């Protein structure tokens, strides 16, 4: 089906930051026989035929939080864009800079995005990006398929030393200490 801009409504959801959330949401919508046009991380697109009461009942029943504040929507879009770039985009040679990707994806200057993010979160945008890069690095270390040099390059670090320093600063452990752990601490994407 093709819908024009005036034939659908987009609902923004809080903390729906991974593909598992997306699949769960699709499954729940189908179970409740609620027609939707598209489900993405952080959004559901409905046709105008679906009434607001049905949507609100569904969201409440399944404990999804709708976001209506414009700046909070931008914060969620930033989180999703960072997760897409760091965890899913396979930016294997760091061609895409974080700031360029965010500006292109969201359509605002990096300074605007950074200010909005800091106003609504307990950390800066830069620290949020670093936390995700370190978490992705942890996952890559566990997979043991890449060298530390390759991981540093993939994550956009200029050197192994720079990655190692940020790793220690962020986790409190050296890379070597982390690799020796039997049960390393890996966080879910929405907990980073």
Give the closest residue to 152 by CA, choosing from 74, 71, 104, 93: 93
- One fold for both 5-67 and 70-191? no
| pLDDT for residue 5 | 53
Q: How far is CA 30 from CA 17, 24, 42, 182, in A?
A: 20, 10, 18, 40
| pLDDT for residue 93 | 47
Does CATH number 1.10.1060 belong to domain 5-67?
no
Looking at domain 70-191, its CATH superfamily turns out to be Homeodomain-like (1.10.10.60)
Give the closest residue to 132 by CA, choosing from 186, 94, 172: 186
| pLDDT for residue 92 | 54
Q: Could you tell me the two tokens for 43? A: 């959004």
Burial class (CB in 10 A: 0-12, 13-18, 19+), 48: exposed
pLDDT tens for the chain, 192 residues: list them: 444 556 889 999 999 888 888 999 999 999 999 999 999 999 999 988 899 999 999 999 999 999 999 999 999 999 999 998 998 876 554 556 788 889 999 999 999 999 999 999 999 999 999 999 999 999 999 999 999 999 999 898 999 999 999 999 999 999 999 999 989 989 988 888
Residue 53: phi, psi to the nearest 5?
-65, -40
Domain boundaries, the chain: 5-67, 70-191
Q: Is the pTM of this model over 0.75?
A: yes
| pLDDT for residue 1 | 47
| pLDDT for residue 94 | 55
């Amino acid at each position: 089906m093709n819908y024009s801009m005036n034939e659908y409504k987009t609902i923004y959801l809080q903390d729906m930051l991974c593909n598992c959330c997306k699949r769960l949401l699709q499954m729940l919508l189908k179970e409740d026989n609620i027609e939707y046009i598209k489900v993405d991380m952080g959004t559901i697109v409905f046709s105008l035929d679906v009434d607001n009461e049905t949507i609100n009942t569904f969201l409440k029943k399944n404990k999804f939080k709708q976001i209506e504040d414009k700046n909070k929507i931008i914060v969620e879009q930033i989180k999703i864009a960072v997760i897409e770039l760091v965890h899913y985009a396979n930016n294997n040679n760091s061609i895409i800079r974080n700031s360029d990707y965010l500006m292109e994806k969201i359509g605002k200057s990096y300074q605007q995005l950074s200010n909005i993010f800091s106003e609504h979160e307990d950390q800066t945008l830069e620290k949020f990006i670093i936390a995700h890069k370190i978490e992705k690095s942890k996952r890559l270390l566990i997979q043991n398929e890449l060298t530390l040099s390759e991981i540093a390059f993939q994550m956009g670090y200029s050197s192994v030393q720079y990655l190692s320093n940020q790793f220690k600063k962020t986790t409190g452990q050296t890379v070597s200490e982390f690799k020796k752990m039997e049960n390393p601490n890996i966080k879910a994407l929405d907990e980073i």
